[in-house]
Amino acid sequence: MLNGKKIVLGITGSIAAYKAAYLCRALIKKGADVQVVITPAGKEFITPVTLSALTHKPVVSEFFTANDGTWHSHVDLGLWADAMLIAPATAATIGKMAHGIADNMLITTYLSMKAPVFVAPAMDLDMYAHPSTQHNLELLKSYGNHIIESASGFLASQLEGKGRMEEPDTIVEILERFFAAQQQLAKKKIIITAGPTYEKLDPVRYISNYSSGKMGFALAEACAERGAEVILISGPVQQKIHHPNIQRIDVESADEMYREALRFFPEANVGILCAAVADYKPEHYAGSKLKRQNGEKMNLSLVPNPDIAAALGKLKKPEQLLVGFALETDNEFVNAQEKLKKKNLDWIVLNSLKDEGAGFQGDTNKITIIDANGNRKDFSLKSKKAVAEDIVEVISEKLNGENDHA
C-alpha cells in the first residue's frame, strides 16, 4: 500500500531520532518516496548525511540553503505529499503544531500540509502525561491529525512508562492500514444524520434530547477515512470535524433535517440515520416569549415530526443501503427488529440504556447490529470511534460483496 506514496518524514530533537533511520529504510523498502524535513534540534541527534544517503534526497532543514540561496518551499512539500509523518515528535514540536508557532521548516511544512498528518510522540513519561502535552495532543486530534500513541517501556531517562515512540515497524503498519482503508469506500457517497433536533416553542425555548452527536460524527470520520464522500447532516452539537471528504450541513429542527436528507439521499449509496430526531414538535410556535400562567397548569400540544428513516426506507432503491439506530430501554431486540422492518432498513444498530457505558453523551457505546434477516452480531463495550469502525466495516463488506448474509 505504500508503493509510490510520497511521504514527508518530519524528525525532531528526541533521542528516538536514532530510530528515524530505520523508519526511513522501512518506508523506502515498501516503495515509498521519502522526503525528510528535520528540525535544528533533530540534527543534534541524527545527521542529515545518514538520512539523505537513505532517501537519496537532500534533507530539508532550513528555509533556504545559505551558500547559494536556494529556497525550500514548504508550500510545495505540502502539495507534494500523500502523508506527513512526524516521528519522533517532541513535546515542543507538538506544542508548536497545536498553536501554529511556525519558527522552523518542519512547522511551516506542517501548516502547509494538504495530506493527512501522523504524529508519533516521543518523550519522557512525565512530559507525556503533563496536562499541557495531553491538551496539545487533543488539539492536534481535533485538527484531524492522527496520533500514533506512545508505547510504554524503558525510556532514555532510565525511567519506565508511557512516552517512547512507537516502533518503526508498527508505524509503517499503521500507514499501510491507513492507505489500504482509503480504498474501501472510494467513490461511495454516504449520508449521515447526527445529533439531536431542536423543536422551537418560543424565541427562547425548545424541546430536545441529550444526544451529543458523538456517534454520528465518529461514523462520518470513519467513512471519510475509508475514502467515502460524506454528507453529514447534523443537529445542534458541540462536535467539530475536519476532513476534506466530509461536507457538514447544520440544521436545527427535524423538518430541516428531513428536507436535507431527502435532498441528498437519491445520490447516496448508503444512509446512516444516527440522529436522535425529536418525534414531536410544538403544534404552534409562539412568536413572543410564553409567560408564566400565575401557578396554573400549562398544556403543550405536540404534533408528529416526519420520520426521516421511514421516508428514506420508502424511497430506497435496491442498490442503496440504509442503517438505523435504536436506543431502547426494554424488550430491546424485539423493538429494534420491529423498527428495522417498519422503516425498511438493511441493518439496525441497537444500543440499550440498560448497558452501562452505552447511549448518549459518553465516549463509549455497546452495540448489537441486526440485519434484515434477524441475524445479530454483538459487540463489546468500546470507544465510539471503535464502534464506528465496526459499523463501517459491516457496511463496506456488503458494498464490496464480501458478506452477503449480514
**Residue 309 lies near ligand CTP (rule: CB under 6 A):** yes
- Window of 124-132, 140-148, 269-277, 292-300 that interacts with ligand CTP by CB under 6 A: 269-277
Cell numbers describing residue 175: 500507514
Residue tagged 465518529 (cell numbers):
218
Q: Which of 152, 155, 156, 240 is nearest to 195 (CA)?
A: 240
Q: Which member of 173, 252, 307, 397 binds ligand CTP (CB under 6 A)?
A: 307
Label each residue of 200-261 as H, E or C: EEECCEEECCCCCCHHHHHHHHHHHHCCCEEEEEECCCCCCCCCCCEEEEECCCHHHHHHHH
> Judged by CB, which is closer to ligand CTP: 5, or 281?
281
- Window of 82-90, 158-166, 272-280, 375-383 that interacts with ligand CTP by CB under 6 A: 272-280
- Which residues inside 33-92 make contact with ligand CTP, applying CB under 6 A? none
Contact 174, 136 (CB under 8 A): no
**Residue 251 lies near ligand CTP (rule: CB under 6 A):** no
Q: Which of 200, 359, 208 is nearest to 278 (CA)?
A: 208
**Residue 189 CB: number of other CB atoms within 10 A?**
17
- Which residues inside 339-378 make contact with ligand CTP, applying CB under 6 A? 339
Q: Which of 136, 145, 209, 373 is catalytic?
A: 209
> Judged by CB, which is closer to ligand CTP: 85, or 261?
261
Task: Return the exposure string of 143-182: e unless at least 16 CB atoms fall within 10 Å of the residue's CB, then b.
Answer: ebbbbbebeeeebeeeeebbbbbbbbeebbeebbebbebb
User: Coil, helix or strand for 85?
Assistant: strand
- Which residues inside 179-198 make contact with ligand CTP, applying CB under 6 A? 193
> Judged by CB, which is closer to ligand CTP: 11, or 251?
251
Q: Which member of 113, 326, 391, 395 binds ligand CTP (CB under 6 A)?
A: 326
Q: Please state the closest distance from residue 139 (CB atom) to ligand CTP, in A.
A: 31
- Window of 10-18, 150-158, 325-333, 381-389 that interacts with ligand CTP by CB under 6 A: 325-333
User: Coil, helix or strand for 406?
Assistant: coil
**Residue 308 lies near ligand CTP (rule: CB under 6 A):** yes
Contact 404, 357 (CB under 8 A): no
> Judged by CB, which is closer to ligand CTP: 6, or 200?
200
Q: Which member of 39, 109, 305, 365 binds ligand CTP (CB under 6 A)?
A: 305
User: What distance in Å separates the CA atoms of residue 378 and residue 332, rounded to the nearest whole number?
Assistant: 13
Q: Please state the closest distance from residue 345 (CB atom) to ligand CTP, in A.
A: 8
- Which residues inside 84-143 make contact with ligand CTP, applying CB under 6 A? none
Q: Please state the closest distance from residue 324 (CB atom) to ligand CTP, in A.
A: 3
Count of residues near ligand CTP by CB under 6 A: 15
User: What distance in Å separates the CA atoms of residue 291 and residue 68, rounded to the nearest whole number?
Assistant: 76
> Judged by CB, which is closer to ligand CTP: 85, or 336?
336
Q: Please state the closest distance from residue 308 (CB atom) to ligand CTP, in A.
A: 3
> Judged by CB, which is closer to ligand CTP: 54, or 327?
327
Give the CA distances from residue 262 to residues 52, 188, 268, in Å, rounded to whole numbers and listed in that order.
Answer: 54, 18, 10
> Judged by CB, which is closer to ligand CTP: 280, or 379?
280
**Residue 325 lies near ligand CTP (rule: CB under 6 A):** yes
Cell numbers describing residue 128: 507525556
Residue tagged 440544521 (cell numbers):
251
Which residues pair with residue 347 across a beta bridge?
323, 371
Q: For this structure, is 373 an active site residue?
A: no
Query: DSSP assignment, residue 353?
Result: T
> Judged by CB, which is closer to ligand CTP: 21, or 372?
372
- Window of 228-236, 322-330, 387-395, 398-406 that interacts with ligand CTP by CB under 6 A: 322-330
**Residue 327 lies near ligand CTP (rule: CB under 6 A):** yes
User: What distance in Å separates the CA atoms of residue 152 and residue 162, rounded to the nearest whole number?
Assistant: 4
Contacts with ligand CTP, residue ranges (CB under 6 A)? 193, 254, 273, 275, 277, 279, 305, 307-309, 324-327, 339
Catalytically active residues, by annotation? 209
